[in-house]
């Protein structure tokens, strides 16, 4: 499954039928399959005109889906379109029915969890994996010199106390192996290799490999986790995804807090739909933050971004007479952001943003 190709064909999609776009939280960690199906029915019942496509999705969940991914994106447009994209992270269950596929959640996830490398190291071994959109592929496995003499001294105890670097005398086999591993990781991450990296393995090996890696690679280490190198790749994938997700949520929280604090102080931040739209139309937004679930209808002044629930004859702020009606203000805001060169971040599970009106921005000035 190469989602880039899927994504491009979805962006380019021009069909005669409307398209049903569905995002599903299919993580079974805290709920049953039935609960997933129920939530889907609940969140899609307002789309009664999409009955045939909805039934198709329902059938897929009942009969064909293997329940392995944490989330799903499904696009269905009559006979013309049927695309299922397994997602590496859980997404809020939501459904849309419109002329174009609703791809904003999908593109956001591809951007952020699209691909990274995983390097597992211990005293003797190195394993490299490439992760792309929730799929893990082995790239390299290397067994170095045996470190038997150290094992006799209790070296093989996991989470061991000694660092290989502090052993007296010549460089010991373990350290030689780790240097070799660091070298391989560098090669892996250069050229077309992954930009971001998750490390796993034994505690002492992880510490040493970090030291041995050059800064330019160390800066792109998302995190690390303790793991036995014989762990199945499926587990390695899940553990590395947990790290990526946590990191992403933490980064998002920081950005939201920054925007809210700046807005409260009258600085370079803004919250709520009215102020955020106004700043977007002035081209002052550097980063737009939109809650994944934000949805609102409205009429937006095409000149200044003034928003009204009912279209006035003229804009009360700028007297402009053209208003764009939209069923999804969030989507309109995202388009405006992209058109003015701002970055967009779709935010999940963030109470602070919800309280601030589910939309906010960091400003250029
Ligand atoms: Zn206006």
Distance 327 CA to ligand 1 centre (A): 19
Distance 264 CA to ligand 1 centre (A): 24
Residue 93 covered by a domain: yes
List the CATH number of the domain containing 88.
3.30.960.10
> 102 and 120: one domain?
no
> 94 and 125: one domain?
no
Closest by alpha carbon to 77, among 46, 101, 103, 104?
A: 101
Distance 324 CA to ligand 1 centre (A): 11
> 26 and 83: one domain?
yes
> 108 and 120: one domain?
no
CA distance 333 to 329: 6
Number of Cβ atoms within 10 Å of the Cβ of 68: 10
Distance 307 CA to ligand 1 centre (A): 8
> 55 and 118: one domain?
no
> Which one of 86, 112, 138 terminates a domain?
112
pLDDT of residue 155: 44
Q: How many domains does the chain have?
A: 3
The helix (run of H) or strand (run of E) holding residue 206 is helix 203-212
pLDDT of residue 153: 44
CA distance 221 to 198: 6
Distance 320 CA to ligand 1 centre (A): 5
Distance 261 CA to ligand 1 centre (A): 27
Residue 237 covered by a domain: no
> 19 and 89: one domain?
yes
> 126 and 227: one domain?
yes
> Which one of 63, 96, 112 terminates a domain?
112
> Which one of 89, 112, 135 terminates a domain?
112
> 96 and 68: one domain?
yes
Copy the structure tokens of residue 193.
């290799």
Residue 251 covered by a domain: no
Distance 299 CA to ligand 1 centre (A): 11
Distance 195 CA to ligand 1 centre (A): 43
Q: What is the domain range of residue 358?
A: 258-363
> 226 and 126: one domain?
yes
CA distance 179 to 141: 15
pLDDT of residue 158: 47
pLDDT less than 70: residues of the chain: 1-4, 148-170
Distance 336 CA to ligand 1 centre (A): 15
pLDDT of residue 244: 83
pLDDT of residue 149: 55
Residue 134 covered by a domain: yes
The pTM of the full predicted model, rounded to 2 decimals, is 0.66
- Give Cα separations from 316 to 209, 296, 303 (angstroms): 62, 21, 12
């Amino acid at each position: 499954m190469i989602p880039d190709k899927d994504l491009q064909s979805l962006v380019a999609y021009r069909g005669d039928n409307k398209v049903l776009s569905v995002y599903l939280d299919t993580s079974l960690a805290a709920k049953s399959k039935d609960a997933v199906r129920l939530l889907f029915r609940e969140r899609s019942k307002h789309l009664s005109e999409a009955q045939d496509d909805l039934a198709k999705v329902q059938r897929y969940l009942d009969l064909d889906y293997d329940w392995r991914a944490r989330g799903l994106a499904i696009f269905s447009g009559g006979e013309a379109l049927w695309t299922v994209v397994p997602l590496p992270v859980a997404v809020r269950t939501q459904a849309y029915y419109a002329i174009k596929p609703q791809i904003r959640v999908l593109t956001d996830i591809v951007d952020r969890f699209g691909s990274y490398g995983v390097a597992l190291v211990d005293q003797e071994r190195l394993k490299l994996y490439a992760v792309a959109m929730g799929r893990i592929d082995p790239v390299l496995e290397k067994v170095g010199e045996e470190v038997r003499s150290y094992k006799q001294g209790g070296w093989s105890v996991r989470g061991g106390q000694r660092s290989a670097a502090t052993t007296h005398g010549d460089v010991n086999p373990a350290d030689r192996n780790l240097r070799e591993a660091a070298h391989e990781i560098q090669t892996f991450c250069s050229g077309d290799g992954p930009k971001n990296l998750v490390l796993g393995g034994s505690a002492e090996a992880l510490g040493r490999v970090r030291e041995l890696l050059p800064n330019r690679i160390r800066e792109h280490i998302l995190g690390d986790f303790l793991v036995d190198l014989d762990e199945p790749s499926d587990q390695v994938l899940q553990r590395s995804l947990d790290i990526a997700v946590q990191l992403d949520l933490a980064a998002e929280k920081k950005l939201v807090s920054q925007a809210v604090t700046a807005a409260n102080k009258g600085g370079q931040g803004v919250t709520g739909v009215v102020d955020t739209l106004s700043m977007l139309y002035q081209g002052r937004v550097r980063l737009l933050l939109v809650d994944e679930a934000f949805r609102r209808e409205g009429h937006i002044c095409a000149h200044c971004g003034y928003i009204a629930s009912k279209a006035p004859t003229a804009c009360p702020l700028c007297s402009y007479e053209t208003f764009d009606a939209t069923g999804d203000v969030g989507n309109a805001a995202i388009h405006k952001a992209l058109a003015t060169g701002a970055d967009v971040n779709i935010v999940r599970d963030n109470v602070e943003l919800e309280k601030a009106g589910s939309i906010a921005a960091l400003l250029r000035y």
